[in-house]
Amino acid sequence: MPLLKLAFKSLWNRRFTALLTLFSIALSVTLLLGVERLRTEARSSFANTISGTDLIVGARSGPIPLLLYSVFRIGDATNNISWQSYQDIIKNRHVAWSIPLSLGDSHKGFRVLGTTPAYFQHYRYGHKQSLVFRQGVPFAGVYDAVLGAEVEAKLHYRLGQKIILAHGAGEVSLFKHSNKPFTVVGILARTGTPVDRTVHVSLKGIEAIHIDWHGGNRPLPGMSMSASAALKQDLTPKTITAFLLGLKSRISAFSVQRYINNYSQEPLLAILPGVALQQLWDMMGIAEKALMAISLLVVLVGLTGMATVILTSLNERRREMAILRSVGARPLQVFLLIMGEAVSLTVLGTILGLVLLYALLWLGQPFIATQFGLFINIDWPSNYEYALLGILFVASLLVSFIPAYRAYRYSLSDGMTIRI
């Protein structure tokens, strides 16, 4: 304890340099744990984007593209699925429920998803959590719309408001379905998934806004059909983009997948969501490892800076060491004094880094959730994070060994000698 007290007094005597070193270590700890927390929560959020769905079916392409456009609303399908094929497949005796998905339109940069009320009944995310309505109800009419939480938060829409859908998935569209407005009837609670960034409408609504389109071309001027006239038409979809399947038994997943992949009427692909999600995450593993490597390098720089500060101050402190030796301090005690200073800086820097980390998480949690759909839990450090802090502590001991050993080697006569 006397040595530790002496170490604190020595640091206080050089408080400006010590504070800079302390702040450097605190920033290193904040970055290290912050990156780890973001990585963990991002992976958890990523893996929990969809759950409870046994198969995702789309046109034959690849597992990753199918997962991206059907679940993450990124990219477009290579082809559509005929409504007849969809009806045929869902009659399979192993199928418990299905959710058809129709993509291709947007609203002010947000993707529009055409589906059925089964979407709100069977879609699950996280740990098989159901979709919850914060306001309103599911769509019932052809021109009803349900907004994801982020759509409502960014565009400040309210129930009963009219919105216009645009053709295509880009931020800017050259054609809007202005003559067929939709009414907001529901707003979903936040999920932290792509659901938050989606406008949900009925399949009949998607069919209605394209009823007067032919061969993918918009109607000629004066030839467009009004909203009321479209309601009198047969609005049964001709094609859909993809669909989700829930099976009566998960054991039958592989047999149903094989049946769909060998479907003779048109080329289709069925994927297991969990497997595809893992493949996609593995593709992004390089970026994950790069972030961790950068944070570790920052920690190394912080510890190196601490060692450098102690080393550069040793020559100025030779007289101090000599006085300590003259009053009876042993070389080992001088060694432990320098080690104590380094450990004190590391412990205080770690505590300050944790305080800074939790302050940033508390302040930034709403922004991260709103802008990136990622909810970061503010809880105690995990066992892995404690292990990282333990490694940091051991690394500080190793780094401080060099200046401590040099101080140990200083002799009384060397400290009292004035060099010219």
Among 248, 271, 294, the domain-final residue is 271
- Token output for 136: 């309103």
Residue 291 lies in a domain: yes
Is residue 203 predicted with pLDDT exceeding 90?
Answer: yes
- The residue that leads in pLDDT, 223 or 224, is 224
DSSP 95-114: EEEEEEEEEEEEETTEEEEE
Same domain, 106 and 148: yes
Q: Are 32 and 391 in contact (CB under 8 A)?
A: no
Residues 81, 274: Cα–Cα separation, whole Å? 23
Same domain, 193 and 86: yes
Residue 326 lies in a domain: yes
Residues 330, 209: Cα–Cα separation, whole Å? 88
Is residue 410 predicted with pLDDT exceeding 90?
Answer: no
- The residue that leads in pLDDT, 102 or 286, is 102
Same domain, 255 and 353: no
Task: Please state, in angstroms and as integers, the Cα–Cα distance from residue 211 to each residue in 44, 168, 281, following that order.
Answer: 41, 16, 39
Residue 278 lies in a domain: no
Q: What is the CA radius of gyration of the chain?
A: 31
Q: Where are the alpha helices (DSSP H) in 327-382?
A: 331-372
Residues 257, 3: Cα–Cα separation, whole Å? 69
Domain count, the chain: 2
Same domain, 314 and 395: yes
pLDDT grade for 258, boundaries at 50, 70 and 90: very high
User: What average pLDDT score do residues 216-234 get?
Assistant: 75
- Token output for 347: 């412990």
Same domain, 213 and 162: yes
pTM of the complete model: 0.70
Residues 379, 303, 307: CA angle, nearest 5 degrees? 150
Residue 279 lies in a domain: no
Q: Are 376 and 365 in contact (CB under 8 A)?
A: yes
User: What average pLDDT score do residues 104-130 get?
Assistant: 91
Give the burial class of 5: count Cβ atoms within 10 A of its Cβ; 0-12 exposed, 13-18 middle, 19 or more buried. exposed
For 305-360, write each residue's pLDDT tens digit: 766 766 666 565 666 666 666 656 666 666 777 777 777 777 888 888 889 888 88
> Which residue matches tokens 């070389």?
331
H or E element that contains 245: strand 242-247
Residues 404, 245: Cα–Cα separation, whole Å? 65
Residues 210, 180: Cα–Cα separation, whole Å? 10
Among 271, 304, 332, the domain-final residue is 271
Range of the domain at 355: 2-46+284-416
Residue 277 lies in a domain: no
